[in-house]
Structure 1
Amino acid sequence: MFMKKIKSAVGAMMIAVILTGCSKIADYSGFSDTSSDYSASEESSSEHSQASDTFNVSDYTVVKQKFLSKLNAEGGVYEGATARSDGDFDGKGFLAFKEGGRLTHIVNANTPQFYRVIISARSEKGAAVKLYVKKKAEGVFYVPAAAENDESFGYCAVDSIYLASGPNTLDFVVDNGTCDVDYILVENSDAVSGDIYRTGTSCANPSASLETVGVMKYLSEIYGKNTLAAANVSLGTNAEIDAVYKATGRYPAIRTSELADAVLDSDNTAERLEDDILLALDWGKNGGLVSYKWHWYSPNTRRSIDSGAFDMEEALSPKNLDEVALMTADELKLMVENGFLSANTISLLNDIDKIAEILGRFAAEKQVVLFEPIPNGDSGLYWWGDSAGCHQKLYRLIFDRLCRFHKLSNLVWIWSGSSADYYPGARYCDIIGQSVFENSNSTFAARLSSISEILSVNKPICATSRDVLPAVDLIKRDNALWLWNAIERGKFAVNENGSLSTEFNSLSSLNNAYNSPLFITRDELPDLKNYAVGE
């Protein structure tokens, strides 16, 4: 194995995260209906030809000390807000923010350490308030919608925020909705417990193949110790991963692509998808992990993934959906003829069957697929998220149709989202996915450690799409080890000619990541086909 060394090591810092007053984390990917075409760059002759054994990191000092500072909202610099003094509040008043409003305060930290930032806030319909530290995105406060006639302020917190000693600028930006802010508390916080990295190795599918069991075993073993390098690719190409390879000398461990076009009836899309499947199969044969997302074009229009594009309520109305998922084509036809199933229900199953045909090609080669269907349902962007209850039903229908009817045993199931209302249940997924688009190399440690608490689960958590990779030294400082960090495709990784784009990730940051001992690249993966039996 190609070993990596580090010039200066930083002791892993454990952080504690408490996120109160939040129900979901609605960052989402930049998926669009039209796939971008990028030229695949020419591969180098040797997988290690440009790899480096060293990388640069910064040392961070942590000096634990009791600390508490209270900042009244009206005492800061603000815009897009109105100062009010009606009702109950602390100090001289509070600020009523419009969407897009901003509040700036400065807190003088006694020592460099992790802090908890708390806002006393309320919102009529719910709001998301982004936290920036020294102009860099670090977290989000989710202010829940108030109960009817309830005008009291509640607490929302983002924990494990590292502040240097001395003055630190805090910016609070109302990203979505409107809210009132009374005051801000900043206090010292404890280290995060390593318990979030203690997860089981069992698969959601009880009939998972030996290869799938091996992959889950490996992923569980590295979780909390390493993060897998991953990249999303433009359909039918390896443009993004080839560009990263040319820059770093290493390929990511995971190649992620998209199955959206699988349900379209077009020769052009079919050809491009076939090219992608062949590339993915080759990637698996060369020791890499294969991953597919499925942004589902609405079965009725085939044109839209947008919210409202499909009526799930009617299509998922049968009470015996678990039985419907196991029906043959003839049985389904009979159910429709007798008025027990609608055409929309059949449309859903037909699309799932098309996905099954593709995933079955990987099963035939004993290749495991990290599968992420209907992602980010709780973001409010997509038709499969128009109803929390229907989203759960649809995800379970996909699971039952693929695992129980088509007998696909080669899938590791990813559910992406952060709302407990949308979560399909522990028995339907292996890994929790997140999309992080904040234009920041922060680790978002608070978000990572809060997901398990929000969903009441203990499963590995990964970033299936990121615009900016987290900085290696910040990962070490924060002990924030997402199972993998996947760079988003297109402009986030490459220019239109297929060359590396450094708009979001600099050349040095990519090299630091891919050549660090924290990131696992393709050449460092073990033989996963035989991992379950220890060969």
Structure 2
Amino acid sequence: MDIRKIIALAAAAGAALSALAACSKKNKITAPVPIIEESASDPTTAATTTAPVETYPDYPVTFPEIEKKESGSLYEAENGELKGGAKAATDMPDFSGDAYVTGFGSEGKASVVLEIDVPTNQHYDLSFNISSEKAVDCRIALGDKQLTVFRSKDDGKFTYITIYGVFLTKGKQKLEITPLNGDMCLDYLKIENNTSLSDISYDAKGELVNRNAGESAKELMSFLSENYGKKMLTGQYAYSGGNAELDLIYRTTGKYPVMRCSVLDVPGDSFDECFKEIDASAEWYFNGGIPCISWYWKAPSDKKSSMRTEETDFDISKAVTEEYLAELTEEEIRELYSKGNISKECYGLILDIDSMAGQLTSLKNRGVPVLWRPLPEGSGNWYWWGAQGNKPYKWLWQLIYDRFTKYFDLDNLIWVWNGQSENSVVDKRTFDIASVDLYINDEKDYGNRYYDTFAAVQKFVGTDKIIAISECGSVPDMDAAFRDNAVWSFFGVWYGKYIQDDKGEYSEEYTNKEALIRAYNSDGAITLDEYRKLRGLEEPEPTEEKKEDADE
């Protein structure tokens, strides 16, 4: 047997021994944990322990009755309220009406306010006719609530930009358009009833791409597919092997999230540090939950090891090779390296991949299925795995998938692709779930803005893939998700400032307390207690009839 496989299996055995002690603990999910900001921040304080909490009633999924009706209205920008220096002009050709509006400046202080008359409660498409010489970010607000931010074209011609599937309620309302970082010309707004929400489909069949997947992974994937479009699984990121963030949610809402999301981000020479997180993931599963692990990979560099592009000297493009490495032994790969057939960068990646396989093998040996998310946000250039474009990123994804499934026989993984772009889509035979990371600046809570994101992802990955929110800054609005037919499979709120204040208590900076309570007690959400019952780990509450029988 290849020595690297032996080392990986030995590491897995060590993790299994430590897990036995963890599994013998009482079924209580508590542990203090420091507050951090993002995955690379240092801890500053510890959170308090779990205490009894108030219980809350179930909240049914509710939203205003929708009356679908064909409609269309056009609002000329020059007829709106011009604020902060915005002014009407006629210098450009091809505009509608008497003028267009410009003079917004670049400070985000000028705007146009249009009073719109909405005929019925339903979803609409908002189309703006805009011209700009450079791409400008534009904020759209309805009353005092932000709807979305979109980016204009940069060709200097009047162009339609449409926001699809925005839910509006009947009556007169004020809609404000504010360019945030540059001037532009706004001609008009056209509002039409939306017809594309019905295109959303929840046809995922629940078959894993790894045909040799183990039974526990198959069962979990089957559960995800059966509930896709019907329920949204709750999830929360935890830090450093503890569960303080999850305990905090319990203290606040009376419910635990069903998913414990965690991050592995240690460099290749310190993989033993992963075992705390691996053990915590296993314990969460044995307590009835679902573990989700993301690999924020610190580059295998001798000089500057970091996940962030600007903080490392590692160049993934130097690692790409035509050699098929996925099923080679350590000796064979080392020989290729010694002969100069593969680079130092490529060899370093293989060593880290094999070390990570050892960590995940320990979960396989314990029968623990994992939602596995390597190479997050692959379409961006802020992490080294996406910094050199799509080709090296896709090559690395394929290498990880093939080596994990074909060489290490990791049959407990449900593969979560988080490329977030049509151009970065990897081979669809190598991932089970497509996910996006959603963070909103200067705003609390999710509303009706993410139908378009959901629809866009489904368009380029297909209806047979489950779609989820792998990271977010605030808890999704359950009512809005069902209203807008954008029911994500699950969500995972990031840790640190997104959930805790500097004393380790609940922070309302990103999600107000009432919204958190409502989300976790919504009939549209699945929490840990509900999932445990479905797995048969807890007796269901007796019916009134059974209670009467017991009393007799």
Query: Do the aligned partners of residues 394 and 187 (structure 1) sit closer, same or farther apart at CA in structure 2, a change above 3 Å counting?
Result: same
Out of 66, 71, 75, the position equivalent to 2:75 is 71
Kindly tell me: are residues 187 and 233 of structure 1, through their superposed partners in 2, closer, same or farther at Cα, counting changes over 3 Å?
Answer: same
1 CA distance for matches of 2:224 and 2:374? 19
Quote how far apart the aligned CAs of 1:449 are: 2.2
Are 1:422 and 2:424 counterparts? yes
Aligned to 1:359: 360
* CA distance in 2 between partners of 1:195 and 1:116 (Å): 16
Identify the range of structure 1 (349-358 vs 220-229) with the bigger mean alpha-carbon deviation: 349-358
- Equivalent position SS for 2:455: helix
Matched, 1:34 2:36: no
The C-alpha deviation readout for 1:420-453, integer Å capped at 9, x for no partner, is 1111131121111111112332142222222212
Q: For residues 199 and 513 of structure 1, what CA distance do their matches in structure 2 show?
A: 24
Q: Name the counterpart of 1:515.
A: 521
Partner of 2:503: 497
Instruction: Please report how far the alpha carbon of residue 131 of structure 1 lies from its aligned counterpart in structure 2 after TM superposition.
Output: 3.3
Instruction: Tell me the residue number matched to 1:465.
Output: 471
Aligned to 2:245: 240
- Is residue 2:230 matched to residue 1:225? yes
2:492 maps to: 486
Report matched runs for 1:121-270 at 5 Å.
121=130, 128-143=137-152, 151-174=156-179, 181-190=186-195, 192-193=197-198, 195-261=200-266, 263=267, 265=269, 270=272
Aligned-residue Cα RMSD (Å) equals: 3.0
Give, as a single letter, the amino acid of the residue that structure 2 aligns with 1:422. S
Matched AA of 1:375: P
CA contact (8 A) 1:38 1:490 kept: no
The one-letter code of the counterpart of 1:415 is W
Give the aligned partner of residue 395 of structure 1.
397
Partner of 2:113: 105
Please state whether the residue corresponding to 2:518 is helix, strand or coil.
Answer: helix
Cα distance in 1, alignment partners of residues 83 and 353 from structure 2: 50
What per-residue deviation string (whole Å, max 9, x for no partner) do you get for residues 390-446 of structure 1? 222222222122222221111111111331111113112111111111233214222
Query: In 2, are the aligned partners of 1:55 and 1:516 still within 8 Å (CA)?
Result: yes
- Measure how far apart 1:302 and its partner are: 4.5
Measured at CA, do residues 177 and 426 of structure 1 come closer, stay the same or move farther in structure 2, by a change above 3 Å? farther
How has the CA–CA distance of structure 1 residues 134 and 395 changed in structure 2, closer, same or farther, with 3 Å as cutoff? farther
Write the distance in 2 (CA, Å) between the matches of 1:384 and 1:424.
Answer: 13
8 Å CA contact 1:259–1:294 kept in 2: the answer is yes
What corresponds to 1:409 in structure 2? 411
1:450 maps onto 2:451 in alignment: no
Three-state SS of the structure 2 residue aligned to 1:360 is helix
Matched, 1:120 2:129: yes
Equivalent residue in structure 2 for 1:319, among 314, 319, 322: 322
Aligned twin of 1:368: 369
Which fold has the larger relative contact order, with Cα–Cα distance below 8 Å and residues 6 or more apart in sequence? 1
Question: Using a 3 Å threshold, how does the CA distance of structure 1 residues 527 and 384 change in structure 2: closer, same or farther?
Answer: farther
Q: Secondary structure of the equivalent of 2:379?
A: helix
Aligned residue type for 1:355: M
Q: Secondary structure at the match of 1:524?
A: helix
What CA distance in whole angstroms lies between the structure 2 residues aligned with 1:56 and 1:195?
22
How far, CA to CA, are the matches of 2:236 and 2:455 in structure 1?
Answer: 23
**Residue 336 of structure 1 contacts residue 342 of structure 1 at CA under 8 Å; is this kept in 2?**
yes
Deviation (angstroms), 1:520: 0.3
Residue segments in structure 2 that go unaligned for 5+ positions in a row: 1-36, 538-552
For the 8 Å contact 2:478–2:524, the answer to whether it is kept is: yes
Give how far 1:132 is off. 2.9
Give the stretch that moved more between structures: 171-180 or 218-227.
171-180
Provide the C-alpha distance between the structure 1 equivalents of 2:199 and 2:366, rounded to a whole number of angstroms.
Answer: 37
> Counterpart of 2:285?
284
Encode CA deviations 1:209-242: one digit per residue, 9 max, x unaligned: 1211111111011000000011011222211100
**Structure-2 change in CA distance of 1:53 and 1:333 (3 Å):** same
Q: 1:504 to 1:385 in 2, by over 3 A?
A: same
TM-score (norm 2): 0.80
Structure 2: distance between partners of 1:328 and 1:75: 71
Question: 68-77 vs 332-341, which deviates more?
Answer: 68-77
Which deviations, in whole Å up to 9, do the C-alpha atoms of 1:466-502 show, x marking residues without a partner? 2221223323432331111222111111223332222
Q: How many residues align?
A: 488
1:420 and 1:126, CA in 2 relative to 1: closer, same or farther beyond 3 A? Answer: farther
Equivalent position SS for 1:525 = helix
CA gap 1:137/1:234 in 2 versus in 1, 3 angstroms:
farther
Give deviations 1:122-176, integer Å, cap 9, x for gaps. 5667555443333333334354665xxxx54433322111112223333345567
Distance change in 2, residues 1:119/1:43 (3 Å): same
Identity across the alignment (%): 28
Between the aligned partners of 2:375 and 2:455, the Cα distance in structure 1 is 23
Distance 1:385 1:114, change over 3 A: same
CA contact (8 A) 1:55 1:511 kept: no
For residue 120 of structure 1, what is the amino acid of its counterpart? Answer: N
3-state SS of the aligned residue for 1:204? Answer: coil
Aligned AA (1:459): K
Judged with a 3 Å threshold, the aligned counterparts in structure 2 of structure 1 residues 62 and 530 are, in CA distance, closer, same or farther, namely closer
Measured after TM superposition, the shift of residue 370 of structure 1 is 0.5
What is the distance in 2 between the residues matched to 1:104 and 1:404?
58
Q: Which runs of 5+ in 1 are unaligned?
A: 1-29
In structure 1, what residue type is equivalent to 2:113?
H
Judge conservation of contact 2:129–2:161 (CA < 8 Å) in 1.
yes
